[in-house]
Amino acid sequence: MAEGKFISYLRVSTAKQGRSGLGLEAQREAILQYLNGGGWQLLAEHVEIESGKHDDRPQLQAALDDCRRRGATLLIAKLDRLSRDAHFLLGLQKSNVDFVAVDMPQANFLTVGVLALLAQQEREAISARTKAALAAAKARGQKLGKPENLTQVARLTGAAQASKARTAKADDFAARIRPLVTECLQELGTLTAVAQRLNADGVLTARGKTGSWTARAVKNLLER
């Protein structure tokens, strides 16, 4: 049975999955099944909505910081889903934070180190194959697509989708951090004091930065 303090980290690849709960609910269910029974505390949940193609993992960093600050163990629902993500694995290995992967409970820092090397090798192989395929297509005289060749409708559609994704990500961050900010405001009384507390505690902003909270940023978050 699980014992101790835990902080969970979940990740889905798209804002649509984040809004619908697709993928997230299965991960939450796996975590709850793991924690079933025992003297445990699930202190917080950090949700990442980010494509595996990108290395930016602000919520992973926030979860690791939270674990260090509160003496908790990081709980991951599906390590195998992230096993090709070299940035995630290396961050986990170097964090010095204890972790448990529900689907791979035998995993340890050595395991994730090996997985990280394999993931990096696979990424490099995919990149090499993609470049070779593009070069071959160009040699055959095939015209490759360029952003400037997109229609106006396509450009506007792409911009709108990117804006929706950013908004969804910001809304998700605000929903998760708002209870903490509200609690601090009730205790401290002013937005400036709340910003100072968040900076002192190393709480990350939506952009994944520490020490960057301001009274205006706190106000904007509470009003989302």
Give catalytic residues, as residue numbers: 13
CA-to-CA distance for 182 and 38, rounded, in angstroms?
31
Nearest one of 1, 3, 77 to 40, comparing CA atoms:
3
Contacts of 48 (CB under 8 A, 6+ apart): 9, 10, 11, 12, 57, 58, 59, 60
Helix, coil or strand: residue 6: strand
DSSP symbols for 125-159:
HHHHHHHHHHHHHHHTTPPPP-GGGS-HHHHHHHH
- Give residue 216's identity as a one-letter amino acid code: R
